[in-house]
């Protein structure tokens, strides 16, 4: 079982627990993406946010995070105002 938590600095914090890193990455991508889309930022700023902050965190979870969790280690990554972490739970 994997527990993930993420926070947008001074905005929002959420978490997810499940068995699959790929599913967890999709949840973070969807939930944070929805918040960014609803933020009122201009379309170019939304695209920048997704490419420079959300994308690198989600990609790191899918690669480095999955490998770390498979070894029984925890993982964390921050990009701009977004921080995410994951660890195995019993």
Per residue in 12-65, pLDDT (tens digit) is: 899 999 999 999 999 999 999 999 999 899 999 999 999 999 999 999 999 999
Tell me the C-alpha distance between 62 and 65, whole Å.
6
Tell me the C-alpha distance between 72 and 89, whole Å.
10
Domain boundaries, the chain: 2-88
Say if residues 72 and 2 touch (Cβ distance below 8 Å).
no
pTM for this model (two decimals): 0.90
Tell me the C-alpha distance between 6 and 39, whole Å.
17
Tell me the C-alpha distance between 4 and 24, whole Å.
7
Confidence check: pLDDT of 90 > 90: no
Question: What is the number of alpha carbons within 13 Å of residue 45 lying toward its C-beta?
Answer: 7
């Amino acid at each position: 079982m994997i527990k993930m938590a993420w926070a947008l600095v001074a905005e929002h914090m959420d978490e997810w627990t499940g068995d699959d890193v790929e599913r967890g990455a999709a949840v973070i991508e969807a939930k944070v993406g929805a918040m960014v889309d609803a933020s009122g930022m201009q379309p170019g700023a939304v695209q920048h946010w997704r490419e420079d902050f959300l994308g690198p965190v989600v990609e790191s979870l899918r690669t480095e995070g999955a490998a770390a969790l498979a070894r029984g280690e925890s993982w964390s990554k921050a990009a701009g105002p977004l921080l995410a972490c994951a660890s195995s739970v019993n």
